[in-house]
Structure 1
Amino acid sequence: MSIDPTLVERVRQGFGAQFGRDPDILVHAPGRVNLIGEHTDYNDGFVLPCAIPFGTTVALGRRADSKVEAVALDLDAAIDRFDLAMAPGRLAEGHWANHLRGITTALPHFGFATTGADIAIAGNVPQGAGLSSSASLGVALGLGLSTLAAAYEADRVALARAAQWSEHHYVGCACGIMDQLASACSTDGRALLIDCRSNSGEDVAVPANTAIVIVHSGVTRGLVDSAYNERRAQCEAAARHYGVAALRDLDTIALETGRTELDDTSFRRARHVVSENARTIAAADALRTGNLCQLGDLMRASHASLRDDFEVTVPQVDALADRMNAAIGSEGGARMTGGGFGGCLVAVLPAEGVNALCAAIREHWDTAGIEHQLLLAVRPSAGAALL
C-alpha cells in the first residue's frame, strides 16, 4: 500500500497532542478513480474503478466508557463529541462530523460491534476532484471502529454497505456503492470490476508498465444533483418500457427491437447504459491481457457515449479529452470520469508516455488560457488496511 508516511505521522502526533497518549490502532482507506463504467451503477450494471495512493488515515484509542471524541486535523482541529448510549443526531448538511456520527450509527445495523473511542482524522485526497474523499473517510472510520471493538477485521462488503448507509442517512448523498467497495476491497496493482447488482468484485491486474493519469478539467461541476436525478428517472422509465428490473438486463438486440414508442431521449439514455456495461466488461478483459489499444478504443467510445447519448459532458471537458487522446495515440485512451458536467478526466497509457501527455495537457491549458489544474499520475493502490 502506498501511503504518505508524513500523513501517518501527522495523525499519530495529532492523536497524542489531543488525547495525551498513543493510539491503539491506525487505519488507512484510499480514494478511488473510475476507469470506465459511468452511470451504470444505479442501473445494476458494471463499473471498473481502482483505489489511488491518496486517502484518509485515522488513529483510534479505546475508552472505558461509551463516549466518542474525534479531532479533525485538517479542519483546524475541530472537535466532535457524543455518547453511543443514544443515537447521535445529524448535524447541519455538510458538517464533517456527520460522517463520524453516521458510521457509528450504521455499524450495528450491519452486524458490527462498536465501542467508545478517541479518534484523530486526516487525509490527503485532493478535494473537489471526485476522487471519493468521502468514501475513504467512511471506510476508514468503519474499519477502525469495528476493529477496535471486536479485535478482528471487518467483512469488507458489509463495511462498504455500512459506509454507504452513512452517506444516505447522515451525509445526505444517495450514492451507489462503487466508491465504498473500491476503497474497502481494492488490491494493490489491480482495478476492481464490480457487479453493482450483487456487490461482488473481481480483481483485474493492471500491467506493471501501465500508468493512470487523473486530470481536473478546470470546470467545477454544476447542476449535478438535478441532472443526476433526471438521468436516473429517464433510465428507470426506460427500464419500465422494456419490462425489465434494470437496464442491466438488456442487450443491444433487445434494446433495438423493443424501442417502439420509446421517446428518443430515453432511448439514448438506455443505449448509453447498455453499451457502457458491455464496454466495461470488455475493458476488464483488455486490461487483463495488456491490450491498451483495445482499452483506449473503449475509453474513447465511453466518452463519446457520455457526450452524445447521456449528455453529461461540457465543451471544455470534450476539448481536453480530444487533446489527451491525440497525445496518447493508439496505445491507451482518455475519457471523462464521474457524474459529468465538469470534474475530472482519466487516462490509461504506457508509463513511458506520461511525461508527453502531461506536457500536452499543460500546453492545452496555456493555449486556452486555463489555470493549471490537478494533474496526477498514479498506480492502483490497495484498499483499506490496518497500519
Structure 2
Amino acid sequence: MCLAIFSTWVRQMKLESVEALRVHKQRFGLEGRAFGAPARVNLIGEHTDYTGGFVMPMAIDFATVAVVSARNDGRAVFYSLNFDEEVSFELASLGRTPQGHWSDYPLGVVWSLAQEGITVSGFSMSLAGNVPVGAGLSSSASLEVATAMALLSHAGQELPLKTVATLCRRTENEFVGAKSGIMDQFIVAGGVAGRVMLLDCRSLEFELLPLPAEVRVVVCNSMVQHQHAGGEYGDRSDEVTAGQEVLRRERPGIELLRDATLADLEACKDKMSAASFARCRHIISENGRVIEAKGALLRGDVGRFGELMVEAHASMRDDFAASSPEVDTLVEIAMRQPGCFGARITGGGFGGCTVNLVKVDKAEAFVEAVRSEYKATLGISADCFISAPTDGALAMAAKGGVQ
C-alpha cells in the first residue's frame, strides 16, 4: 500500500472528526464520541451480491463521521453538517416509516438495531462526510455503518462483522426501500488496509487479497448521479429476480443465480423475458470473472485482471443495460491512456464512477489526461482520485477510532 495515500487518509479522517466534534459540542452542549466509516469501490463483481454471488471490493479514502452523545428526553436527534439540517424523532414511537429524506438512513439503523434486540436510549448525533452522493461509492452504506458503530457504542454493545453488515443492509432494504445486496455494508465495515476483499455473498466468507504494488486504483466520477431506491436499479433487480425464479423452477439444484451456469440459462431462455435473460447472463458470467480475477491477482497478472475489468464493463453496458453515455466515454478515454490495464463502471450503474487499474508511475498523468479529454469531449469536469485499500469501520475502531 502507498504510505503517502494512507497518511493522507488518516489526516483527512481526523480533520473530519475534529470538525464534527466541534460542531456537535457547540450545537448540543456536550462532548461526543466520533466514529468513522469509509466509502468503497468495487473492482469487479457488479449486481452479483443480491443473488448470492461473488464480489471484489475495497474500502477507499472517503469517510462519514458520526458523533454521538446521550440525552435524557427519549429522542433521537440527528444533525447533518452537510445539509445544515436537524431532525428529531421520539424513540418510543419509532416504526418503519421512511420519509424519502436523508434521515431515513440513520433512523433506519435505529430501527434495524431494534430488530437485533438492541434498544438505544435518547441520543444526539452529528453526521458529516465527504463521500460523493450518487457516485457509486456507497455513500449510503458509509452513513449506515458509521451510525451503527456510534449507536452500538452508545448502547454499550459490540457485534461481529457479519451482524453489523446484515443489520445495515436491512436498513437499506427494509427501511429505506433500496433493493441492494450486502457487499457495500460488508466492505465498509470490514475492509482492511492494503487488501481487496473477495466476498462470497451467500456464505459471507471472505478472503483478503493483496493489490499488486505496481498498480494504483483510480476512481473517476462521471458527475452523473444515480439513486438506488426505486427507478432503473429497482427494475433491474426485478428482472433478475424473475429470471432467477425461472431457473429455480426449471433446473433442480438451483437456488440462486450463483448456482447456475450459462448452459442452464440458455436451456431456460424461452421461459423468461429477453430482459431477464440478458440480466441473468451478466450475473452468471460476472461471477466467473470474479473468480478468474482472484487467480490473476494471486499470480500478479495485472494484465489479465485489467482485461476482465473491460469485459465486465461491456457486460454491464450491454447485458445489464446499466451504464450511461458519460461513463462509457470515461472508460473509452481511460483505455487509451498509457499504463491503464483496465477500466469499468463501478457501483449500481446509470451514472456514477469508473474504477481504473493504472500503473503506479503513470497514475498522475492518467488523472490529468482523463480529466482533460472528458472535459473536451463532453464539457464535464470529472473528479478523479488515486486510491488505495483502507481500513473499514471495525478495523478503525479497533485501532482507536477517528477521535
Normalised to the residue count of structure 2, the TM-score between the two structures is: 0.87
Q: Distance in 1 between matches of 2:111 and 2:63?
A: 22
AA aligned opposite 1:309: D
Matches within 5 A, 1:135-174: 135-150=141-156, 152-174=157-179
Which residue of structure 1 aligns with residue 89 of structure 2?
82
Matches within 5 A, 1:42-191: 42-64=50-72, 66-76=74-84, 78-87=85-94, 90=97, 92-93=99-100, 95-150=101-156, 152-191=157-196
Confirm or deny: 8 A CA contact 1:222 1:342 kept in the other structure: no
AA aligned opposite 2:284: V
Q: Distance in 1 between matches of 2:244 and 2:96?
A: 37
Which residue of structure 1 aligns with residue 3 of structure 2?
none
How far 1:313 moved relative to its partner?
Answer: 2.2
Which residue of structure 2 aligns with residue 27 of structure 1?
35
Q: Distance in 2 between matches of 1:173 and 1:264?
A: 24
Return closer, same or farther for 1:65/1:226 CA change in 2, 3 Å cut-off.
closer
Q: Distance in 1 between matches of 2:378 and 2:277?
A: 38
1:363 aligns with 2:368: no
AA aligned opposite 2:69: G
Q: Distance in 2 between matches of 1:63 and 1:134?
A: 26
Matches within 5 A, 1:182-331: 182-221=187-226, 225-242=230-247, 243=251, 244-256=254-266, 259=269, 264-329=274-339
Confirm or deny: 8 A CA contact 1:27 1:143 kept in the other structure: yes
Report the 3-state secondary structure (helix = DSSP H, G, I; strand = E; otherwise coil) of the residue aligned with 2:192.
Answer: coil
1:348 aligns with 2:357: yes
Return closer, same or farther for 1:310/1:224 CA change in 2, 3 Å cut-off.
farther
How far 1:349 moved relative to its partner?
Answer: 2.1
Confirm or deny: 8 A CA contact 1:292 1:349 kept in the other structure: no
Q: Distance in 2 between matches of 1:226 and 1:88?
A: 25
Confirm or deny: 8 A CA contact 2:177 2:229 kept in the other structure: no
Return closer, same or farther for 1:92/1:112 CA change in 2, 3 Å cut-off.
closer
Instruction: Note the aligned Cα RMSD (angstroms).
Output: 2.4
Q: Distance in 2 between matches of 1:85 and 1:43?
A: 36
Confirm or deny: 8 A CA contact 1:71 1:119 kept in the other structure: yes
| 5+ residue gaps, structure 2 | 1-5
Which residue of structure 2 aligns with residue 379 of structure 1?
388
Percentage identity across aligned positions?
Answer: 35
Return closer, same or farther for 1:108/1:240 CA change in 2, 3 Å cut-off.
closer
Confirm or deny: 8 A CA contact 1:115 1:145 kept in the other structure: no
Return closer, same or farther for 1:265/1:65 CA change in 2, 3 Å cut-off.
closer
How far 1:178 moved relative to its partner?
Answer: 1.3
How far 1:226 moved relative to its partner?
Answer: 3.9
Over residues 348-376 of structure 1, what are the superposed CA-to-partner deviations in whole Å (9 max), with x where a residue is unaligned?
12221212211221232243142212211
Q: Distance in 2 between matches of 1:268 and 1:376?
A: 32
AA aligned opposite 2:43: L
How far 1:270 moved relative to its partner?
Answer: 2.4
Confirm or deny: 8 A CA contact 1:49 1:182 kept in the other structure: yes
Over residues 287-324 of structure 1, what are the superposed CA-to-partner deviations in whole Å (9 max), with x where a residue is unaligned?
23332111101001111112222222233322321221
Return closer, same or farther for 1:128/1:265 CA change in 2, 3 Å cut-off.
closer
Report the 3-state secondary structure (helix = DSSP H, G, I; strand = E; otherwise coil) of the residue aligned with 1:74.
Answer: coil
Report the 3-state secondary structure (helix = DSSP H, G, I; strand = E; otherwise coil) of the residue aligned with 2:305.
Answer: helix
Confirm or deny: 8 A CA contact 1:218 1:370 kept in the other structure: no
AA aligned opposite 1:99: Y
Q: Distance in 2 between matches of 1:295 and 1:193?
A: 14
Q: Distance in 2 between matches of 1:135 and 1:222?
A: 13
Report the 3-state secondary structure (helix = DSSP H, G, I; strand = E; otherwise coil) of the residue aligned with 1:318.
Answer: helix
How far 1:222 moved relative to its partner?
Answer: 8.4
Report the 3-state secondary structure (helix = DSSP H, G, I; strand = E; otherwise coil) of the residue aligned with 2:34.
Answer: strand
Report the 3-state secondary structure (helix = DSSP H, G, I; strand = E; otherwise coil) of the residue aligned with 1:191.
Answer: strand
Confirm or deny: 8 A CA contact 1:19 1:118 kept in the other structure: yes
Confirm or deny: 8 A CA contact 1:68 1:83 kept in the other structure: yes
Report the 3-state secondary structure (helix = DSSP H, G, I; strand = E; otherwise coil) of the residue aligned with 1:359.
Answer: helix
How far 1:339 moved relative to its partner?
Answer: 2.3
Return closer, same or farther for 1:349/1:16 CA change in 2, 3 Å cut-off.
same
Q: Distance in 1 between matches of 2:378 and 2:361?
A: 28
Q: Distance in 1 between matches of 2:92 and 2:224?
A: 45
How far 1:258 moved relative to its partner?
Answer: 5.4
Report the 3-state secondary structure (helix = DSSP H, G, I; strand = E; otherwise coil) of the residue aligned with 1:48.
Answer: strand
Normalised to the residue count of structure 1, the TM-score between the two structures is: 0.90
